[in-house]
Amino acid sequence: MKLKLGFLGTGSMGLSHVQLVRDEFPQMALSAFYDPHGPSEEKAKQAAPGALVCRSEKELIESDADAIFISTPGFMHADFTEECLKAGKHVFGEKPVMTTREGCHRMVALANKYDRVVLINHELRYSKYFQKIKDIVDAGEIGEPQMVWCKEFRGPFLKKVGDWIQDSRYSGGCLVDKNCHHFDLMNWWVGSKPRKVCGFGGTDVVRVVNNQYEVIDHASVSFEYENGVRGGLLLCMFSPKLPEDLEMGVIGSDGMVQTRMSKDEIRQWKRGDDETKEPIVHHLPGRKVGWGAHHGFVEAHDAFFRAIIENKRPLTDVRDCVNGTLLAVAAEEAIAKGTVVEV
């Protein structure tokens, strides 16, 4: 089945979608796109010379596209998703789901109302790398999960048009725009909904928009799930440039599993008598393409097309991954208020 695809937003991420579909899915049609930013429009024209260049969001949504990729700042996601669904389009939405708690619930309500695919691009779930952790946990190889964690020490956000990502009114905040990815993975691994969260953080080094809405540049977040599992996230956005070793893992009653991304490895330990032996090492190289070069980017697109053609719910249907964003939204609120927040 040849699907006609439209692209709402062709900045760094949106352009990656256009280029990937062109290169990896030639059976799909690059039908139309819209971006109000001139340089972004020009890049999209070069990547998809046969596509219709729309002059407004409305023209794109009313075009003959079967599905639309929404790659806009997070605060716009619900409005554009609703317009696409009303027009009968399937939606491939960028994360976060939305930038507010109310917006997240609105997105779920829209998915329930319309008989269309609404996939959120939590591409990490689609990679064999992070799926391996899910498989290990689900197989009981580390016993009952007790704790999950994420440690991300990196440099500042890459440049965006108008620096919108640095302004919490548009991005929802650093944890919402970026770490919803990691919260989503941890939620998925432990198979439970986050219940409450607290945290500390601030803006002490990185200042770009220089107003009261500047996103935080470091944080320490603690959270608890309905099933009693507890988790934590450490974030720094002003670290020296280091090899990518985003550290995530799960500790269970009988062992532990941990990422080592710079080596494409997952390490696994068993708690027992001989705890000095070397870990089991799972070597899982994967394709890292697109904006940010994440694992699972190609696979997420394939899952979207299959969901439409085969009429089945994808792994990151908005209803199944909304809690990653809800946890991030609650964490931002907890830091701002200095209190424990119910998710």
Please tell me whether residues 49 and 150 are part of one structural domain. no
Q: Is the pLDDT of residue 244 over 70?
A: no
Q: Are residues 246 and 307 in the same domain?
A: no
pTM greater than 0.75: yes
Q: Which pLDDT band holds residue 271 (cuts at 50, 70, 90)?
A: confident
pLDDT at residue 150, rounded to an integer: 98
pLDDT at 290: 66
What's 114's domain CATH number? 3.40.50.720
Tens-place pLDDT, residues 277-287: 789 999 998 77
**The CATH number of the domain where 155 resides is what?**
3.30.360.10
Whether 104 and 220 map to the same domain: the answer is no
Q: How many domains does the chain have?
A: 2
Is the domain of 102 the same as that of 72?
Answer: yes
**Alpha-carbon distances, residue 207 vs 99, 160, 251 (angstroms):** 21, 14, 36
Q: How far is CA 244 from CA 19, 154, 216, 292, in A?
A: 24, 8, 21, 11
pLDDT tops 90 at residue 224 = yes
Listed range (110-124, 130-144, 230-244) with the worst mean pLDDT = 230-244
* Same-domain check for residues 99 and 135: no
- Is the per-residue pLDDT at 73 higher than 80? yes
Q: Are residues 110 and 153 in the same domain?
A: no
- Please check whether residues 70 and 212 belong to one and the same domain: no
**Mean pLDDT on 142-152:** 97
> Are residue 40 and residue 94 in the same domain, yes or no?
yes
Contact 23, 301 (CB under 8 A): no
| Domain with 308 in it | 4-122+298-317
Q: Do 205 and 248 lie in a common domain? A: yes
- Whether 139 and 26 map to the same domain: the answer is no
| Confidence at residue 292, expressed as pLDDT on a 0 to 100 scale | 63
Tell me: do 155 and 240 sit in the same domain: yes
Same domain, 187 and 271: yes
Residue 211 banded pLDDT, cuts 50, 70, 90 = very high
Q: What is the mean pLDDT of residues 306-324?
A: 97
Beta-strand relationship, 341-342 and 4-8 = unpaired
